[in-house]
Structure 1
Amino acid sequence: MKFRVLKYLKFYGLILLLGIIFQSCEEVKDSTIKINSNWKFKRLETSNLSEKGYEDTDFDDSDWELVHLPHTAHIEPLVVNNQWQGVCWYRKSIDIPNFTEDKKVFIEFEAAMNHSIVWINGEEVSMHQGGYLPVVMDATKYLKRHAKNTIAVRLNNTDNPITGPKPLKRLDFNMYGGLYRNAWLSVKDKVYISHPVLADKVAGGGIFVSTPKVSKETSTVSVKTHIVNDTKVPKSVELVQSIYYDEQLVEENRSARIDIEAESDMDISEQFSLQNANLWSPKHPHLYHLKTKVLLKGKVIDEETTRFGIREFKFKNNQLYINGEKTFLRGVNRHQEYPFVGYALSDNAQYRDAKKIKDAGFDYIRLSHYPQSPAFMDACDELGLVVIDAILGWQFYNDTDAFRDYCYKSATNLIRRDRNHPCVMAWEVSLNETKMPIPFMEKLDKIVHSEYPGEQVYSCGWMDEVYDIYLQARQHRILHPHELKDKPLSVSEYGDWEYFSKNAGLNQDKLPNELRNELSSRQTRAYGEARMLRQAKNVQEAHNDNIANTIAYSDSYWVMYDYNRGYHDDIEHSGLMDIFRLPKFAYYFYQSQKDRDQGHILKIASYWNDTSSLNVKVYSNAEEVKLYLNDNLVSIQKPDNDEISKGLNHPPFTFKLPTFIKGSLKAESYVDGKKVAEDVVKTPQAVTKLKMWLDKSGKAPQSGVNDVLFLYIAGVDENGTINPDFFEDINVSINGDVKTLNVEKVKAEAGIATALIRIGNTKGKITISANAVDLTGSYTISVK
């Protein structure tokens, strides 16, 4: 699988070939071309609309919409309670004039929601079930040389009994249609490194890197490479494999002559011994690059670069040790949805989502409840986020061979796609919250251990039979405290359902609905300070309970970002950030749990207005905090030591003020008697202007890649303080190649409005203006 698998030049003249491909390539990675640009798109508005001829080369698609990938089949409103489901088509013309008899061409869609059929020049090439894993094709025999070629894709994202997980009207998340990830075209010689999905070899195909032995002194890197000879004569090749760290050569192996019979293939296994290797871990995500070259008669005919990390995940007495160090993983669940565009996130947006999770103080993510983007996986590698990687599943089991075979294939291809990512600790080959037959789970578990042989591999699932790791939600432990097998335990979901559901064990059945909503973790920024503090208290209590009262090696809060649900007429609001990625107070609680060597955290969780709590919460990982009101010292305090704090590394600080006095609260944090951080909150005054900023989160806006970003517009007073009572409509005006994607009006919530913008193909400065009532603001974006 390309992890950004850089693929290198395989024959002379390929640069010319790539440069003249017609209507296709905005990004070239040597012999692999990103073909995201200039697709023709049509969404069928009625189910009986004729599709006859849509796949044909000579079909006239001139009246179809011109789009670029990643693309969503339908721009949705903010609250999606009637998501579009149906059939849509994509078409693209491409010319490969230097495509010769000794070359092969492969096409890959990273995802195509949900049931896809692909035609090339009118011939059906692929039929694929499932919208989250790659659709890969050997297109060689279908393409014409020195002529126009047409790729046509038909997508159907209606409810599907084979893929599941259940009908959208009863589903807890949305499955948005479209070609919503990247598309690639690869050109290779007929002696080449295979694609693991097409090779279809157990624990093989492509390049498979593992680290069977890891230590600070000596580590072993095992590499299996699959080479195919698609010619009609035997070939003798050499294999050169080089390991680099920070572009410095670390180790290199050159094979003896490898003889491959005609129309045959071969696996080549190599082992490297690295001394004093830089190990991958959440705190130190060191990454290496393996460059693999296939040489024929001394000439490089195929080359790939595979990124990997050297790490060991091991359990002792059901506790996790990473590289020999006992580690508790603090984590979160994540849905990949954005407002309006659904799943159609740019690679940069995927990185920004991962960066926010890392910045929030997490070192672990459970991917819920489906395979997520290769770009997101890459970001987890780079940032040091341990991952539980999952197949699609949620409250659905279809007792048919077709469904089971689909699940088995999904598990297989998920591992083949993601096995080289050092971030992946375990494979959730389980149907979440679904009663599964034992033989079904046994087959999925066997696939994990067959596809990734060795000791450093773990299956996991929400049932405590069969799997190596038991994913137990906190409410299940509350309701059934004695149902626990002797195996590693992860608290897979907590902090939401046990505070919301009437059957989750915290006596909610005794509460009226309106009070139950007030006391839940499902709180919006619009609900105000008191209810956001309630959410923060819930997550603190639950996280403390996980640490103090279970033998779990990790936990993952539900959920990082607010998201839409197919069955519900409102957004699910238990996110630590809202759907626009704006933080709630609970975000800062988790951020304060960082170790001090990861940064000094200090945040006053108050707006400090006349409705604010007089018990002021301050989140910090310091030893001591001083709080001032209008520069007068309120008190100097140590961390809280109450029942919901005793298990925490860094409990919050609670300051009790006698009365509200307008002005400023200032907190100072101290470690070893030295001031390390300061935070100030001022009582909001009347809004006098609009303040604007862009959510870059480690990635600047980029042209030509359908980059999507959040533009924030806040109502601020003369001191620059955001007024949380500002709820006005905002008019946004853009001078440049940028588009606003909001379906409804851009409207402020708790002082801040958000526009989702998409960057076009033009580099340079873009000016955006905003106005509301008598207020104005402007912002300039530098697009690279």
Structure 2
Amino acid sequence: MKKIDLNYNWYYIADFKPSYIEAHMDDVGFEVVHLPHTNIELPLNNFSEESYQFESFYKKEFYVEPLLDEHVYMRFEGVMTYAEIYVNGHYIGEHKGGYTPFEFDITPYIHEDAFNMLSVYVDSRERDDIPPFGHVMDFLTYGGIYREVALIYKNVCHIKDLLIKPEDVLTKPKLNMSFDLLNLSQEDKKVTLECHLYNENKQVFSCSRSESLQDTKNINWIEEVGNIQLWSVDAPNLYEVVICVLEDNQVIDKNKVRIGFRQFEFRRDGFYLNNEKHKIVGLNRQQSFPYVGYAMPKSAQYKDADILKHALKVNTVRLSHYPQSNHFLDRCDELGLLVLEEIPGWQHIGNEAWQEVALQNIEEMIKRDWNRPSVFMWGTRINESNDDHDFYKKTSEKARELDDSRAIGGVRCIKNSELLEDVYTYNDFSHTGNNAGLEAPNKVFKEKKPYLITEYNGHMYPTKKYDDEAHRVSHAHRHMRVLDALYGDDHITGAIGWCMFDYNTHKDFGSGDKICYHGVMDMFRIPKMAAYAYASQQRKEPILHVGSSMNIGEHKSGFLTEINVFTNCDWVNFYRNDAFIKRFYPNRHRYGHLPSPPICIDDFIGECLEKDGLFSSTDGKLVKKLLMKANKSRGNLRIMDKLKLGYILLKYKMTTLDMENLYTKYYGGWGGKAAVYRIDGIINNQMVKSVTKGHIFAPTLKVELDSTVLSEEATYDVTRVVVSLRDEYNNSITYANDAFQVITSGHIKVIGPDILALIGGSMGFWIKTTGTYGDGFIEVVSPRFGRLKKRIQVKDLRSLNIDENIR
């Protein structure tokens, strides 16, 4: 088998005419584009969702080598939403649905040892005959050939639909291999099958068997493989299985599949991975990006998985509400990130023809990803739809027929729904800020079955990165209350929050500007405060995020009453102007089940009154209580407290002005001297993190790149750039909206507009390669901060990307 990527130098026009199918490449009006490609770049917000819903046309010239007992296939990883494929003007076939791959045998229509023409008609309108359409949805679907395309040469005798199920991994590990062995020739074949198992390029097992076949034969092959290393969320050990087909001792077909040996099991009391109980803690992900929608290459898909695992530190992601990039899933396999994958849809179930496409989606989804160790569940219901016994009986049966090694679930938002799947998966939006984080499972579903929360929060409390501090803090606490409820109930196997980042949406959702601000990050994957609610629930890496600017003007009536610190530290030491105030511990009274509750700093005085010698020890404690009460009550003391205050004023010959000055000294009131606060995080009696907060006197603009080396391989490459305004202590300044221009030169270009402004103190954008190689430069030009220049190296690795297993 030989795979040739066809992602560069396509001709595209955003206006389809039937005459284009047989037209020459030099037609006027076409532009040269590279895949992945969006049919139109969109604004960040405030646009019509109809902007991308039109018919378009792509074509590309490709060369076919002389065939050696081979057939030639054209494979598409994803075209949104309907595609018709033509080769040399001949109609090859159609595909309905934008989220799953498809391929066609084009052998009868190609010219060997010659150039051929591939033409693709794309309909990106919301068609009622294709899921997820038929009713309004809370996400956009965009358009274009937004995933990769490849030409594949296969021998007339080759393997199809290879499924490898690791079995008995905790006792006697086995490979259970099943596939169709095709014989497209006109003669009988005698072949040898070889299986090789590799771990980090070292062969650890091999076996073989002989087969005779006339046409197509289903093979089921089980082999015990000996000692192996398990795949888990903490140690994602991967193996490569290589199955070869040999004829006359010559390899004529070779298939490579990456797998992991692991055992998933849902029990009434939780989810077990390799017989160890794990709480499923995760976030939902849409696959969209600003400006280009779904059209982003491998590196951007990898980065999202890295963010989930390394920045947000969750163990699970739900692919809402459709199968997503195979690159994203590759990275989940590599990182040990559990995946719930589901069929396309949102609340609406269409007619019989629509349902047939949905069943086709299930088959295409499962066959694409059934060998992935990260996928622990198939979602076989349309997200948040009503019960439909006949339809969901078919979807469940189809999934079990294709792959009986995983549980199936179906995301619902109704109680006591009919359960045709293995796990009751439910969207719990019951938390409103002050009530319980989650409903008890027995109030949602009466049967004693495994129970998984697949969405929470999200639209219940939309939060922008630039909302006031109290709103952002409340947002973080809402996520933590749900997590606390999750950890406190053994009958809830896990909870997957809504959602990873903000996303563009239809007119009926979001904040009226076509953005749903439901994420714990913004659209550019820049964290909001709630992101640290997740990042702090682990002990591998110290997290210390102070949820306040410590500015009194950010708080009601200018009273700074308490500061939330999102951390996994044992405690924090709190300082004001380098004077130690007090040690603070995690708030386990409020969060009794969380691994790492937040820390609340509500005492800004500590023992300073006594140390300063202003009062006796007893009176110092009394004054401190009075000052704290005055702060929390915003100066409204009760009668008894006023009498106590009068006693102190009389005893120490103080005036009310003296007491106000004392308050100002410790709480930073109006007119007081600027205070600098420091919070040191302590783990095992060692300071591991420190954050300093103070007034802003000399802000600086910072430019950070995810990568400074880009590589053109199967597709172009991208990297994200984040521009932020920082204070003297490297804290992001939330209330900043400075404008800047992005200037690129050399071998890169910016995606989207080149004039931007900070939103909530920061702004992101992506730059991409252009098909040429060498140095590229980014300049961020600010009227206030001048020019900041960054260099990027662009490498040409296309020659390394031909997957030539055998020819």
2:530 partner SS: helix
Helix, strand or coil: the match of 1:281?
A: coil
Matched with 1:152 is 119
Say yes or no: does 1:602 pair with 2:544: yes
- 1:136 and 2:139 correspond: no
Q: 2:152 aligns with which of 176, 186, 192?
A: 186
Q: Aligned partners of 1:421 and 1:353: how far apart in 2?
A: 18
* 1:55 aligned residue (21, 28, 41): 21
Q: 2:93 aligns with which of 126, 148, 159?
A: 126
- Match of 1:618, SS state, is strand
Residues 576-595 of structure 1 aligned to structure 2 (within 5 Å): 576-594=520-538
Which SS does the other structure have where 1:371 is aligned?
coil
Unaligned stretches of 5+ in structure 2? 431-437, 555-559, 605-666, 796-807
1:652 counterpart = 2:598? yes
Counterpart in the other structure of 1:692: 703
**Pair 1:648–1:228, CA change in 2 (3 A):** same
Determine whether 1:712 maps to 2:722: yes
Separation in 2, partners of 1:154, 1:189? 29
Asked if structure 2 preserves the Cα contact closer than 8 Å seen for 1:78 and 1:743, the reply is no
What is aligned with 1:76?
42
Q: Does 1:285 align with 2:236?
A: yes
Q: Is it true that 1:260 corresponds to 2:213 in the alignment?
A: yes
Letter in structure 1 aligned against 2:45? V
Indicate yes or no: 2:220 matched with 1:208: no
Contact 1:81 1:566 in 2 (8 A): no
Counterpart CA distance in 1 for 2:54 and 2:458 is: 32
Contact 1:78 1:340 in 2 (8 A): yes
SS at match of 1:446: helix
The one-letter code matched in structure 2 to 1:176 is Y
- The aligned residue for residue 366 of structure 1 is 318
Output the CA distance in 1 between the equivalents of 2:364 and 2:530.
36
What displacement does 1:71 show?
0.4
Residue 627 to residue 99, structure 1, CA distance change in 2 (3 Å) = farther
Query: Residue type of the partner of 1:599?
Result: E
Match of 1:702 in 2: 711
Q: CA deviation at 1:601?
A: 2.2
What residue number does 1:327 align with?
278
The residue number in structure 1 matching 2:586 is 639
Q: Secondary structure at the match of 1:282?
A: coil
Counterpart code for 1:209: I
Q: Which amino acid aligns with 1:73?
A: N
Aligned to 1:495: 457
Say whether the 8 Å CA contact 1:616–1:657 is kept in structure 2.
no
The CA deviation at 1:481 is 6.1
CA drift at 1:722: 3.6
Shift of residue 611, structure 1, vs aligned partner: 3.4
| 1:266 Cα offset (Å) | 1.9
**Pair 1:245-2:217 in alignment:** no
Q: Aligned partners of 2:268 and 2:327: how far apart in 1? A: 34
SS at match of 1:188: strand
Q: Distance in 2 between matches of 1:188 and 1:737?
A: 36
2:14 to 40, 43, 50: 43
* Residue of structure 2 in register with 1:666 after alignment: 678
**Correspondence for 2:410:** 460
Distance 1:287 1:480, change over 3 A: closer
| TM-superposed deviation, 1:310 | 0.6
Greater Cα shift, 301-310 or 275-284: 275-284
Q: Which residue of 2 aligns with 1:24?
A: none
Q: CA shift at 1:720, angstroms?
A: 4.6
Asked if residue 762 in structure 1 is aligned to residue 724 in structure 2, the reply is no
- Does residue 388 of structure 1 match 2:388? no
1:297 and 1:277 mapped to 2: Cα distance? 33
Percent of aligned pairs with the same residue? 27
Q: CA deviation at 1:375?
A: 0.7
Three-state SS of the structure 1 residue aligned to 2:477 is helix
Q: Which runs of 5+ in 1 are unaligned?
A: 1-9, 11-30, 45-49, 195-204, 501-519
Q: In the alignment, does 2:388 pair up with 1:434?
A: no
CA contact (8 A) 2:570 2:682 kept: yes
**Aligned-residue CA RMSD in angstroms?**
2.1
Match of 2:4 in 1: 33
Kept in 2, the 8 Å contact 1:69–1:180? The answer is yes
Question: Which sits farther off after the overlay, 527-536 or 340-349?
Answer: 527-536
CA distance in 2, matches of 1:327, 1:602: 25
Distance between the aligned counterparts of 1:390 and 1:541, measured in 2? 27
**Distance across 2 between alignment mates of 1:240 and 1:611:** 72
Q: Is the 8 A contact 1:35 1:183 kept in 2?
A: yes
Q: Which of 399, 424, 430 is matched with 2:375 structurally?
A: 424
Summarize deviations over 1:243-269 as a string: whole Å, max 9, x none.
Answer: 0111111110121x31111xx122333
Which position in structure 2 is the counterpart of 1:625?
572
Q: Is the 8 A contact 2:380 2:408 kept in 1?
A: no
Distance 1:41 1:145 in 2: 25
Aligned counterparts of 1:717 and 1:475: Cα–Cα separation in 2: 37
Whether the aligned pair in 2 keeps the contact of 1:528 and 1:750 (CA below 8 Å) is no
| AA matched with 1:134 | P
Aligned residues of 1:426 and 1:460 also touching (Cα < 8 A)? no
Q: Distance in 1 between matches of 2:252 and 2:181?
A: 11
- State the 1:614 CA deviation: 4.4
Over 3 Å counting, the alpha-carbon distance change for 1:684 and 1:292 in structure 2 is farther
CA positional deviation for 1:717 = 4.5
Q: For 1:691, what is the secondary structure of its paired residue?
A: strand
Residues in 2 aligned to 1:684 and 1:209: alpha-carbon distance in whole angstroms: 60
- Which protein has the larger Cα radius of gyration, Structure 1 or Structure 2? 2
Map of 1:206-245 to 2, 5 A cutoff?
A: 207-215=162-170, 217-245=171-199
